[in-house]
Structure 1
Amino acid sequence: MAGTARRQRTTQPREPRFEAANHPSAPTLPDGVRLTRIRDNGNFFVRGILFHVSRTLFGTLANLVEAESSMMVFDDQGTLLIEHQWPAPGTKYADSALPRGPRGPRRPR
């Protein structure tokens, strides 16, 4: 094994690969208010339930105020977007429009 000498590692300090970004600190919210982002289809999650607001609001931040019996969603200006009663346990989707699934039988005219 002649000529297989190992090269010594140098312990020079490495330069950082990226600059640390100066992000503004998160806004302080009152107790009981959470901040969430509305997804691209107008939905957001709260307590494992998917709620629908509006597709036109995608990407915006919304303030959630949770109470024992209901939940309210406000935009960044303080305008009430929706208010929902908490659905029954086991419900995974809540919307203010018509419920999912087939409609009842057609009514004669």
Structure 2
Amino acid sequence: MAYQHGDFGQVYPIARGSAPLLVTLGAAVFAGELLGFLPMLGVLFLTVGVMSLSLDTRTGLTKNPRAILLVLGTGALIASYTLVGGLGARQAGARTSHCPIWAT
């Protein structure tokens, strides 16, 4: 639905850019995983950088504000399955050291 209201250049960066921030927030709430200052700063820079690709270069505004709610829902779904997968791997006893949500 988001593609019906916004073009690919707006929708995709917002969906993919919002997901890392939403995963970070979800990991804090549901898994008690808190990032330090520098990793959190990295997530914020990544989110702002990717989402800024959806801004109109002349005005600095979004090209179609109506698509934003739909695409943030898409970002929330991406974050949800990432979080559920990480929590499931943790519950199953999978151990990885490179992903803080999976490591215990």
Q: Which has the larger radius of gyration?
A: 1
TM-score interval, smaller chain:
under 0.3
Greater relative CO, 1 or 2 (CA 8 Å, sep 6+):
2
* Structure with more of its chain in strand, by fraction: 1
Task: Give TM-score, length-normalised by structure 1.
Answer: 0.25
Q: As a proportion of its length, which structure holds more helix?
A: 2
